A and B are shown apart, each in its own frame.
Chain A
Amino acid sequence: MKIKILAFAALLLGLQACDEIPEDEYLLIEGGSQGYQGTGHRVFLEEFTGVKCNNCPAANQKAKNLQAIYGKENLILIGIHAGNLATTDAEHPKAFNTPEGTELFNFFQLFGVPVGFVNRLDYDENRIIKGEGDWAGLVATELERQPVAEINLAEDRYNAGTMELTVSGNVNATGTLPDNIKVCLYLTENDIVSAQTLGDKSVNPNYVHDHVFRGSFSGTYGKTIDLSSGSASFTESITLPSDAVKANCEVIAFIYDADNYEILQSNFIEI
């Protein structure tokens, strides 16, 4: 009998614990950019969102706060509007949904927003999709990794009449890469003023949307790139949406392992 009691007491004591954080140690980082020096391995935070999603502005702000800490040269953001909260109605004249965004939303079997991928880690059929509370830890971990490639990107030409934009770039391997790699180029736009449902369910008709995904240069999943020689170049074009403001647009390029969708490196240019 005593053995049972002692065994149980020991089990309970051994199992239980709680950490006490002093008030002056709640925050590890305060203020804005800390001049973070990354390894060169950039992190791509792919946020799925919607203009009718009242929790999305707060999630988007968390992503922006992370970018403020690490710098946009280290953390690249994109807001993909998709799902049934990315639809228009009388209060939301623009929804920013795109065929590619919807395809990604369905392909990754998403069912609600806000959610997001950090470098599309942990993609598999049974994964737990990461909410905004998980992003900070994943971003911090990813930023510490050594880069396996570098992407250089430049604007080639722009036809203002047709709104066709052409960019070119190259990928140089700096580490061990998987065999099956694809390169993908996305167009994003900042400073779009349009309606968004807020946390208290009110609608702000003049909400400023940043990092809005506007389309892909080379399909939803990009094109295969051959890096067997250690480097490869690419040139891709896109016709900007008719309501896009070119000066507010950016082009993001990333390479990923086509077998598990993990993004290996990314970069961006303002155009």
Chain B
Amino acid sequence: MKKHLVFTLALGLGSLGLSAQEKQADYGQIHGNFQTNAQYYLRDTLIDPQGDAYPDERMLAAGFLNLIYTKGDFMAGIRYENYQNNLVGLPEGFKGQGIPYRFARYKKDGFDITVGNYYEQFGSGLVFRTYEERGLGLDNAMDGLRLIVNIRPGITAKALVGRQRIYFNTGDGIVRGGDVEFNLNDFKGKAGSRNLILGASMVSRFQEAQDPIFNLPENVANAGIRANFISSNFNFFAEYAYKSQDPNSANNFIYKPGHAIYSTLSYAKDNLGILLGYKYYDNFLFRSQRVGNFTEAMINYLPPLAELHTYALPALYSYNIQANGETGIQAEVSYKFDRGTLIGGKYGTLLNINFSNSYALDKDFEYRTDIDSSQTISGTDGYKDWAGPGDVQYSQDFNVEVKTKINKSLKGTFSYYNFIYNRSALLDGVIDDRIGPDTHLKYVYVNAAVAELLWKIKPRHSLRTEAQFMHTEQDRGSWALLLLEYSIAPQWFVAVQDAYNYGNPDPDLQIHYPLVSFGYTRGTTKVQVNYGRQQQGVFCVGGICRVVPASNGFSLLLTSNF
């Protein structure tokens, strides 16, 4: 009772963290991390003539504090979140303040039990993945129960039930699921360079159906099997998943089941690394309720199998997964040229070549006449099962990266990019059942190059520069960007950046986007201040993207942990 009281007090008052730490031998430990992001917006009629992205509040701020208490096999935590209001471009449903995340977890007798909120993933995520990605405004945490059992060495089973978080509420659907994984080496009790891991998982959603038009299934299941074979040089992973009838707002209420295949094969030996990947996603968006916007209530995750670009200009055309249907491949070769060779030079050179593409599925749509005499796919199977690749290309990405050390104090990374980007589908949201023979699809053809140099001027002092060029005759035209970042490790940095959209087809928008940043780190606390104009872009993590509107103003980011 006494321990419960102390724990409750410690959780309720973060300031007690220190006293709890002093007495950790008796009462366990509290750890936490804090982040706040505030932005003061300035009206900029050049980049936002209508003021669509200029908030009434002028200043917006969002932040959170995680507090985790641990003692032996017991763990509990809360997350306080505060949105006053959320930053422009992030979901406005996150509004206000509260404690939407709280959990308790303990392990005993081979059982690992969690009550409250938790994140979990089965396999690659085709069947189930709940996670948080604040940059996307995505948090689909479960609120319920989770049980993990080590049945015997090498066999682990998981079961869960609950509802998913949507902003400060939970979704309409109840999610139930389980996963079993077999690890051959652990089963045999010996380590080795070869291993076989097999898994099977299943998740079901229940949501009451009251629709007067569609006879909706109240229980929808998603099940998958997977295998991972590992040897000293090879790593092969494959997962297949099947989703039962799931008419929903994203697939336009069609009834055909969904299929997903995700497979990768990698080879690594000496200086050579090769990765091959294949994806096939057909009608495989799975939410814990039939209607959801953006990233709300997503139960599963579809790996994008495309490289995530981090440099600002190439990142403007990042790949956005098309959950209603797509198929594609990825191939990547990396080779390290040893030092002392012609290409390796004095310090060695790393070469990485990457190719990926994605196509819509060849859907022969089935239509019916709706109440208003229009043709609709709603209330039909939608299209034939196991549709092959179609004619509509979503993307192609070819890029080459060379990393080398030029001399003792200078490192360089040089990249070339060639993209084919279906703007209509990937950015404008023109989904495939809206694409007809007369639809004008906007493709963007991009050639880009980036040179990054890191110069260690003297101990603790370094200068990082990025020169980026991106040429395209479509969309917003060509860009150039120059970044200079001076750091005094480990505490200070100051950066100046200018992105120039010199090729914009609208002469009024051939403008500069200057940005100045300043950062200071003390211990585990970091403060960063930015001022300037930021171009409209796309922020993507794991194939899930959100559009970031152009903005002008000051921003402050503060992170801290203890």
The reply to whether the CB of A65 lies closer than 8 angstroms to some CB of chain B is yes
- Which residue of B has the minimal Cβ distance to A7? B149
- Which residue of A has the minimal Cβ distance to B217? A19
Give the A interface residue count (CB, 8 A). 52
Q: Using Cβ atoms and an 8 Å threshold, which residues of chain A touch B223?
A: 16
Q: Which of A16, A32, A111, A128 contacts B178 (CB 8 A)?
A: A16
A15-B176, A136-B212, A139-B212 known; A201+B428 contact, CB < 8 A: yes
Q: Are B370 and A1 in contact (CB under 8 A)?
A: no
User: What's the minimum C-beta distance from B287 to chain A, rounded to whole angstroms?
Assistant: 11
The reply to whether the CB of A20 lies closer than 8 angstroms to some CB of chain B is yes
Q: Are A8 and B157 in contact (CB under 8 A)?
A: yes
A5-B151, A15-B176 known; A20+B213 contact, CB < 8 A: no
The reply to whether the CB of B339 lies closer than 8 angstroms to some CB of chain A is no
Name which of A23-31, A179-187, A188-196 contacts chain B.
Answer: A23-31
Q: Are B255 and A68 in contact (CB under 8 A)?
A: no
Q: Are B210 and A138 in contact (CB under 8 A)?
A: yes
A4-B151, A54-B429, A112-B293 known; A136+B220 contact, CB < 8 A: no
The reply to whether the CB of A243 lies closer than 8 angstroms to some CB of chain B is no
Q: Which of A8, A19, A84 contacts B245 (CB 8 A)?
A: A19
Q: How far is the CA of A11 from the CA of B176 in the complex (A)?
A: 10
A31-B371, A68-B371, A128-B166 known; A8+B212 contact, CB < 8 A: no
Q: How far is the CA of A136 from the CA of B210 in the complex (A)?
A: 7
Q: Are A17 and B219 in contact (CB under 8 A)?
A: yes
8 A Cβ contacts from A76-126 to B: 84, 87, 89, 109, 111-112, 125-126
User: What's the minimum C-beta distance from A110 to chain B, rounded to whole angstroms?
Assistant: 9
Q: Are B159 and A15 in contact (CB under 8 A)?
A: yes
Q: Are B176 and A16 in contact (CB under 8 A)?
A: yes
The reply to whether the CB of B291 lies closer than 8 angstroms to some CB of chain A is yes
Q: How far is the CA of A199 from the CA of B433 in the complex (A)?
A: 11
- Which residue of A has the minimal Cβ distance to B248? A133
Q: Using Cβ atoms and an 8 Å threshold, which residues of chain B touch A27?
A: 213-215, 379
The reply to whether the CB of A12 lies closer than 8 angstroms to some CB of chain B is yes
Q: Are A65 and B371 in contact (CB under 8 A)?
A: yes
Q: Using Cβ atoms and an 8 Å threshold, which residues of chain B touch A250?
A: none
The reply to whether the CB of B211 lies closer than 8 angstroms to some CB of chain A is yes
Q: How far is the CA of A69 from the CA of B212 in the complex (A)?
A: 9
The reply to whether the CB of B409 lies closer than 8 angstroms to some CB of chain A is no
The reply to whether the CB of B177 lies closer than 8 angstroms to some CB of chain A is yes
Q: Which of A16, A31, A84, A133 contacts B202 (CB 8 A)?
A: A16
- Which residue of B has the minimal Cβ distance to A124? B169
The winner among B168, B208, B212, B290 for most chain A CB atoms within 10 A is: B212
Q: Are A8 and B151 in contact (CB under 8 A)?
A: yes
A1-B152, A21-B217, A54-B429 known; A131+B212 contact, CB < 8 A: no
Q: Are A137 and B159 in contact (CB under 8 A)?
A: no
Q: How far is the CA of A54 from the CA of B151 in the complex (A)?
A: 52
User: What's the minimum C-beta distance from B378 to chain A, rounded to whole angstroms?
Assistant: 9
Q: Mark B166-200, 1 if CB is under 8 A from A, else 0.
A: 11110110001110100000000000000000000
User: What's the minimum C-beta distance from B381 to chain A, rounded to whole angstroms?
Assistant: 7
Q: Which of B92, B221, B290, B381 contacts A18 (CB 8 A)?
A: B221
User: What's the minimum C-beta distance from A165 to chain B, rounded to whole angstroms?
Assistant: 30
Q: Are A16 and B221 in contact (CB under 8 A)?
A: yes
Q: Are B245 and A20 in contact (CB under 8 A)?
A: yes
Q: How far is the CA of A127 from the CA of B167 in the complex (A)?
A: 10
8 A Cβ contacts from A52-87 to B: 54, 61, 64-66, 68-69, 84, 87
Q: Are B217 and A20 in contact (CB under 8 A)?
A: yes
Q: Using Cβ atoms and an 8 Å threshold, which residues of chain B touch A23?
A: 255, 381
Q: How far is the CA of A214 from the CA of B253 in the complex (A)?
A: 33
Q: Using Cβ atoms and an 8 Å threshold, which residues of chain B touch A84?
A: 50, 52
Q: Are B50 and A111 in contact (CB under 8 A)?
A: no
User: What's the minimum C-beta distance from A237 to chain B, rounded to whole angstroms?
Assistant: 32
The reply to whether the CB of B96 lies closer than 8 angstroms to some CB of chain A is yes
Q: Are A26 and B430 in contact (CB under 8 A)?
A: no
- Which residue of A has the minimal Cβ distance to B155? A5
Q: Are A26 and B96 in contact (CB under 8 A)?
A: no
Q: How far is the CA of A143 from the CA of B151 in the complex (A)?
A: 52
8 A Cβ contacts from B209-258 to A: 209-221, 223, 244-245, 247-249, 253, 255
Q: Using Cβ atoms and an 8 Å threshold, which residues of chain B touch A28?
A: 211-215
- Which residue of B has the minimal Cβ distance to A68? B371
The reply to whether the CB of A46 lies closer than 8 angstroms to some CB of chain B is no
Q: Which of A26, A66, A130, A139 contacts B215 (CB 8 A)?
A: A26
Q: Using Cβ atoms and an 8 Å threshold, which residues of chain A touch B381?
A: 23
- Which residue of B has the minimal Cβ distance to A109? B95
- Which residue of B has the minimal Cβ distance to A64? B372
The reply to whether the CB of B505 lies closer than 8 angstroms to some CB of chain A is no
The reply to whether the CB of B84 lies closer than 8 angstroms to some CB of chain A is no
Q: Are B211 and A140 in contact (CB under 8 A)?
A: yes
The winner among A125, A136, A140 for most chain B CB atoms within 10 A is: A136
- Which residue of A has the minimal Cβ distance to B54? A84
The reply to whether the CB of A156 lies closer than 8 angstroms to some CB of chain B is no
Q: Using Cβ atoms and an 8 Å threshold, which residues of chain A touch B211?
A: 28, 136-137, 140
Q: Are B371 and A69 in contact (CB under 8 A)?
A: yes
Q: Using Cβ atoms and an 8 Å threshold, which residues of chain A touch B147?
A: 11
Q: Are B212 and A140 in contact (CB under 8 A)?
A: yes
Q: Are B176 and A1 in contact (CB under 8 A)?
A: no
List 12 A–B pairs whose Cβ atoms lie within 8 Å, in order of A's numbering: A4-B151, A8-B151, A8-B180, A12-B202, A18-B221, A21-B255, A26-B379, A68-B371, A112-B92, A112-B293, A131-B249, A132-B249
Chain A to chain B: the 9 pairs with minimum beta-carbon distance, closest first: A111-B92, A137-B210, A133-B291, A18-B221, A19-B217, A15-B176, A133-B249, A18-B244, A12-B178
Taking A19-B245, A21-B215, A133-B253 as given, write out 4 further A-B residue pairs in contact, using a Cβ cutoff of 8 Å, ordered by the A residue number. A18-B204, A19-B220, A23-B381, A54-B428
**B-contacting residues of A (Cβ < 8 Å)?**
1, 4-5, 8, 11-12, 15-21, 23, 25-29, 31-32, 54, 61, 64-66, 68-69, 84, 87, 89, 109, 111-112, 125-128, 130-134, 136-141, 199-201
